[in-house]
Structure 1
Amino acid sequence: MAWVYLLIASVFEVVFALATDATHGFTELWPSLLTAAAASGGIFFLSLALKSLDVGVGYTVWTGIGSVGTVVFASLVFHETITPAKAIAFVLIIGGVLGLKLADKISATA
């Protein structure tokens, strides 16, 4: 269940990042409220995940998924360009996230 909580926390992280851009320095009410709610939701679900995951694994996976998700959705919503260098970085981040998940699974069975 910890990994489900971590995925939910990651969705909140992406919403948080995208909404923060829309606040225009926290001068827009609704994006600012969405940003605060998404930050709270992300931290809440991360805390649930960390009940059974190592903080190093959980936090790193959370920020990794949040980072990749933010760049992907920013390209869709804000038409930001994904360059080949960014795509390579995504692959590396995703590889690291998968490696951490695998390492956590291996240590749980040991």
Structure 2
Amino acid sequence: MSRHSAPDHDQRRAGLRAWSALLLAAVFEIVFTLSTGQSKGFTLLLPSLITIASAACATIFLSVALKSLDVGIGYVVWTGIGSVGTVVFGAVFFGETLTFFKCVCFAAIIGGVIGLKLTSGESPAPDAMSDRLTLR
């Protein structure tokens, strides 16, 4: 017999899917931000198309993640990874300045993201959430 019950296993799989979707959303957020800068105010076609497509993908994957994650946790993790990734890739690919103090701040953001992941609790069941949002 398995150590974990079927609902526990399903819940873990849903959590893994949510965090995977959130990571993909953050990757698309990084692409979106970097391509926005490269589009030169939407005057260059290819970077502009990449910007639009990556923004759509980032939003879609974020919405998938938020089916299971608290919106506050999901949003902070998404923007945290997106912010740090954008600065790191901007420095690597576009020669943007990366100072010691910026790195310290990014380490704080990464620490906060890890802390949020480790301390995130159960999200309310979808029915419970809709009960809270229903106007009576």
Task: Kindly indicate which of the two structures has a greater share of residues assigned to helix.
Answer: 1
Query: Does 1:58 find its partner at 2:74?
Result: yes
Tell me which residue corresponds to 1:96: 112
Structure 1 runs of 4+ with >3 Å offset: none
Matching residue within 26, 38, 56 for 1:10: 26
Distance 2:116 2:52 in 1: 29
Q: Deviations over 1:18-41 (max 9, x none)?
A: 000111011111110100000000
Deviations 1:39-86 (A, max 9, x none): 000000000000000000000000000000000000011111210110
Query: Unaligned regions of 5+ residues in structure 2, if any?
Result: 1-16, 123-136
Q: Which has the larger radius of gyration?
A: 2
Give unmatched runs, 5+ long, in structure 1.
Answer: none
- Note the aligned Cα RMSD (angstroms): 0.6
* Number of aligned positions between the proteins: 106
How far 1:103 moved relative to its partner? 1.1
Higher relative contact order by CA 8 Å / sep ≥ 6: 1 or 2? 1
Q: How does 1:6-85 map to 2 (within 5 A)?
A: 6-85=22-101
